[in-house]
């Protein structure tokens, strides 16, 4: 660690999660280097930090090598919503795999601790419910979602091979559905879709019969979990699930968004997309035990804050 304090690199730092992570790191006193190619990240997400003396922005694509002086690395760079990662699937796979390789090479050169932001998508359409870390998943390797699912699975492989082969100090966090302010209006994720449709008075689109389930973690809780993983002892590598285990159906989520937003929009049904998981719920026993972490923000409280954010965007 340098004399002036810890320097932390956040790839994908101008994205939804990355910008919240940069905020948290600045609050706790780190020097933050935010790296983003602005493929899906936006300058507005990090605008309040641009003049901060401990914040630096570098426009760079992680599929290209990078050599900077850092103590810790959070690797978040990758489009994470289906609309974005399916738009250019080859680029998505390159970002997952080459991005991981380049950041691991940097961590090896600098002997830096590095955290991989993995995903619940590594479990695919699971046969085990809820999903514990020791479950290997059920993933279609050639489907529309495979660029992201298999890209993230390969990144995890690289992280553990670097640890075994080079003794690298790694952490792997599997992120479950997360929501909150700074989500993109048109990112295709269910929370942002439902909220924006409700606020506009459009039909709220539920795919299938709405019985498929998800678990939603508010962004502040998720960032606390990532920081706890990064700060954990060196012998704890993960992978560790970080998410909210409170499960609800898509129909229930749509009804809750309508109630909290005061919208009179109606719910309509459309066919279920290919490879869409029927259930998704994290087993967070390991996070509770090893990290002392669990989510604290209720779904209603988190949705109220997220609805207020989108309402301000739609009615500036």
One digit per residue, the tens of pLDDT, for the chain of length 316 reads 344 469 999 999 999 999 999 999 999 999 999 999 998 899 999 999 999 999 999 999 999 999 999 999 999 999 876 776 777 899 999 999 999 999 999 999 999 999 999 999 999 999 999 999 999 999 999 999 899 999 999 999 999 999 999 999 999 999 999 999 999 887 878 999 999 999 999 999 999 999 999 999 999 999 999 999 999 999 999 999 999 999 999 999 999 999 999 999 999 999 988 777 788 899 999 999 999 999 999 999 999 999 999 999 988 6
Model-level pTM? 0.94
Length of the chain: 316
For 238, list phi and psi in degrees, rounded to 5.
80, -160
Quick one: DSSP state of residue 287? Answer: I
Catalytic residue (one of 85, 123, 148, 179): 148
Active site residue 179: no
Query: What span, in angstroms and rounded, lies between the C-alpha atoms of 117 and 89?
Result: 19
Q: Where are the domains of the chain?
A: 7-181+217-245+281-296
Q: Can you say whether residue 208 is alpha, beta or left, with left for phi > 0 and alpha for psi between -120 and 50 degrees?
A: left
CATH number of 7-181+217-245+281-296: 3.40.50.720
Please state, in angstroms and rounded to a whole number, the distance separating the CA atoms of residues 62 and 50: 21
Q: How many helices (H) and strands (E) does the chain have?
A: 10, 13
Which of helix, strand or coil describes residue 251? helix
Q: What are the residues whose beta carbons fall under 8 Å from the beta carbon of 73, sequence distance 6 or more?
A: 8, 9, 11, 103, 106, 107, 112, 113, 114, 115
């Amino acid at each position: 660690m340098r004399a002036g304090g810890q320097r932390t690199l956040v790839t994908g730092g101008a994205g939804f999660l990355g910008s919240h992570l940069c905020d948290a790191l600045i609050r706790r006193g780190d020097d933050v280097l935010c790296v983003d190619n602005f493929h899906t990240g936006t300058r507005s997400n990090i605008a309040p930090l641009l003049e901060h003396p401990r914040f630096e922005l570098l426009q760079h694509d992680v599929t290209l090598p990078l050599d900077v002086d850092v103590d810790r690395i959070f690797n978040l760079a990758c489009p994470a919503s289906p609309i974005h990662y399916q738009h250019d699937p080859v680029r998505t796979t390159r970002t997952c795999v080459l991005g991981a390789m380049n950041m691991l090479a940097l961590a090896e050169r600098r002997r830096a601790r590095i955290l991989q932001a993995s995903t619940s998508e590594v479990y695919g359409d699971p046969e085990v419910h809820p999903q514990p870390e020791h479950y290997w998943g059920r993933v279609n390797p050639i489907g529309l979602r495979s660029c992201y699912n298999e890209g993230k699975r390969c990144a995890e492989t690289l992280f553990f091979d670097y640890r075994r082969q080079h003794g690298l100090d790694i952490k792997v966090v599997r992120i479950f559905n997360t929501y909150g302010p700074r989500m993109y209006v048109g990112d295709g994720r269910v929370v942002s879709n439902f909220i924006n449709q409700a606020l506009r008075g459009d039909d709220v689109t539920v795919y299938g019969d709405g019985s498929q389930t998800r678990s939603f973690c508010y962004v502040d809780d998720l960032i606390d979990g990532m920081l706890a993983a990064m700060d954990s002892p060196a012998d704890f590598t993960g992978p560790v699930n970080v998410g909210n285990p409170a499960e609800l159906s898509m129909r229930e989520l749509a009804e809750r968004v309508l109630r909290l937003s005061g919208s009179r929009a109606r719910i309509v049904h459309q066919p279920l997309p290919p490879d869409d998981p029927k259930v998704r719920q994290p087993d967070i026993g390991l996070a509770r035990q090893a990290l002392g972490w669990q989510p604290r923000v209720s779904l209603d409280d988190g949705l109220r804050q997220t609805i207020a954010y989108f309402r301000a965007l739609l009615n500036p």
